[in-house]
Amino acid sequence: MSANSAGSSGPASTSHEWHTHLSSRSWLGGILLGLAAAVLLATVLGLQMELDQRHDERAGRLESLRMLPRGEVLRPALMGFHHLGADIIWLRIVQVLGEQVVTEQDYEWLSHALDVVTTLDPLYIYAYDAGGTILAELAHRVDWSNRLLEKGMKANPAAWRLPFTLGFNYFFHLNDYVKAGEYMGQAAKIPGRPLYVDTLAARLYVEGKSPLLALQYLEIMIQQAEDPQLRAIYEDKYKEVLIARDLGTMDLALARYRQTRGRNPQTIADLVKEGFVASVPEEPFGGEYRVDPETGEIESSTHRERLRLHRPPGANSSQE
């Protein structure tokens, strides 16, 4: 009886053991899955907290520059270590700019911090030069840039780069070719300046609006730029001047076409086919030159607003 009972109960017992085993594995799998989800959630939350902390740190660095005391107050407090203080603040400026946490409208802190740096160390020529360029090109505050550069010129009359950069501001941003020539003339009188400064100074007085002169000016700025970000700014501006030059040339062809045909061309290709221009130049930003169907003017597909450096005689002036 017991043998038969044992024999008959074997499969049921085995089945029960397997169910128990499977239930245990399911229970264990659920725990492991829950642990994995918890670890994943903790990792995500940890990363988010780290990112938030990093953002807070970056924002804190910017605020520390915004809240700097004036240089006249800070300099005596540094007890003779004002040069070191200027270096530390300059490095912090570079760090904040590199972190790209600055909005386009939020550059007043930079003007203040640069003023502090150059008050702590009035001979910090690179801070005037690079800082002046950043204020003009990134902050679009040529007035702040000029104020900083003029401050640098007073403290460093032998630094030719400062009047040279001021001339650049008046040439490109303010379209004041007389003032640009005056500052370039000052740079040309400083011993140790490169020979091209003299050439540019002379040409500015004679042909201030020439895009060829603008390209030469920018080639020099690109070569002289030590900072990759500044070099990229000048390279983009160089391409913009190429567009201005190309549009000026094609405007002349367009004016002749209108005078001869009494209408606008349908496409740029019409100017080439009918011999008004030898070829269509390559658009430097990778776009194309085209005829605006609404205005009949020639434009760039990447830069519809023209850089106002030069308008050839005889070109249509409706865009002015």
All residues at 6 or more sequence positions from 104 whose CB lies less than 8 Å from its CB, including other chains: 139, 140
Residue 190's pLDDT is what? 94
DSSP character at residue 290: E
The confidence score (pLDDT) of residue 41 equals 44
Say whether domain 51-156 belongs to CATH 1.25.40. yes
Give pLDDT, residue 28: 60
Q: Which pair of structure tokens corresponds to residue 16?
A: 């029960």
Low-confidence ranges of the chain (pLDDT < 50): 1-9, 18, 22, 36-46, 48-49, 51-52, 310-320
Q: What is the pTM of this model?
A: 0.64
Q: How far apart are CA 77 and CA 119, in angstroms?
A: 13
At 106-147, the pLDDT tens digits run 789 999 999 999 999 999 999 999 999 999 988 999 999 999
Q: Rg of the Cα trace of the chain?
A: 34
Task: Classify residue 215 by burial, with Cβ atoms within 10 Å: 0-12, 13-18, 19+.
Answer: middle
Question: Residue 248 — φ and ψ, nearest 5°?
Answer: -60, -45
Nearest-10 crossing angle of helices 108-120, 82-99: 160
Domain positions in the chain are: 51-156, 175-310
pLDDT at 153: 98
Q: What is the pLDDT of residues 14-48, one digit of tens each?
A: 555 545 554 555 556 555 555 544 444 444 444 54
